[in-house]
Structure 1
Amino acid sequence: MQYKRIGTKIRISDRGKVLSYEPFLTEEKIIPYSQLHFDTSTYYLQVEIESIPARIVLGDEYLFVSANERGISMTSPDGIPKWKTDKKFFERRLINGVPVDHRSVSDVVKEVTVSSFLSETNDNHVFQYNGYNIETYIMWGMFICEINPYCFPWVENAAGNGIGEWIELELNSPQNTMYVLNGFVDGTRPHLYKMNSRMQTALVEGTTVSGKKISQTVWFEDFVYFRTIVFAEPVKRVRITIKSVYEGDKWQDTAISAIMFPEKERE
């Protein structure tokens, strides 16, 4: 399935049901936003697609859809992830934290710096939620964009809810717009969004090439979506500082799953 937002509707193209090869046409379905409903147990938007419950994560430029079925997540103890059976999985699959067979959609983040980050150990492997590949949540596969299962959220590690903790991005090229996926968003474990804290308000500071500072306070609604943030001028550096949070049901740690930028034209 391929999904595309068209105004207040979602167009679904079923690549498994080809109608014509010249030109290439597939069976399509349109889902208006009015058919989406809010799941109070997970804070995701949901809809049935071919009788299968699916979670919809909307954004002004990016969106993704995941089936409402339990799956294998990289850090989940359930199932048998490949890294558990292949001791060289990470070394072979990743270069500087990026899957070697995928390409970044926007590819503008040069460096990521954080005030603190959480680490956890699973089956003798240490996972660091330091946000170093936070731009690569959605990546180009062979023909379509896909969720990157090796992109872990930034999770702060300060006392309490992380008020005052920050993540800063140095960019390769100045940008006017960015998209923030707030909270811990794992399509195979939707319960993690509510279990962890997520930002309610944040101070977003941008620095232009000339050194001018642009600041704004951004409010986040409490459901899973890409929040669009626009700067009055293009910025070369961005810092997001946690000001207030929606408290997690289980953990105080505050998370950001992705910070993305407008799609880069493919070569």
Structure 2
Amino acid sequence: MNTALLKNISKQTCAWCGGKYHDRAHVPTKFLIPKSERNNSKWPILPSCQQCNQGLKLDEEWLTIHFSSMLYDYSDVAKKMFDGPVTKHLQKLTPIAARYNKYLSLVELKVNGNSLGLKTRIDMSQEDCNRLERVAEMFARGLYYWHNQQTAQKLKAKVVYLTPKRFKDFSTHMKPLKLYPIFPITFEYAYGYVSATGEAAFIIMIYGKPAFQILLIKKEKYDRMESKVKSGEIIQIHEPSIEIY
């Protein structure tokens, strides 16, 4: 392992919770990255406690299975991942694999009466959405530490799952942010930081497609946003849904 990748490892504190450092965690998770790309000097490796490093393992599996299958026809990397390690993982019939196999289906997609062929569909429950959002938040908080050498514990996370219908907003949100192509196509992120408040914004791209927008913001701002959601002023954007690619 290239120890030059480690930042502030001597502090002996977890990059997520600020607790005692016991382990080292990759951002993004190894499970998301093809083995052929893992020897990468830009890959952040952060100090972590065991709970923060292992606590979202099942969620990380779900995220990789989800995006590699949904983007199978759109990304060579997604296809490579799904045909290789993901398929092997699904054959083991882990709890996450069983969940995926139960709710995955192929549907015929038609536009103006014309068939576009069979497309992947997965019925997304609220828990499915929550799994994806938990991993996205973990990525953002880890990358926040990577850039700022401090945890984002005092900030609340607002995660937006970028469905295909929301891709049109992608370029608008990207403009003020700086792009960091850790793994070109496979995993990239755009990042913006407000030094006056310590707040930050991320857009995370997985297998070549915008996947999440994450805001790390102060509690009072987060509460105002949630209040507007409840009042109907802002439409809730991470509801359970059926996604078709």
TM class by shorter-chain length? under 0.3
Normalized per residue, which structure has more strand?
Answer: 1
Normalized per residue, which structure has more helix?
Answer: 2
TM-score normalised according to structure 2 size: 0.25
TM-score normalised according to structure 1 size: 0.24
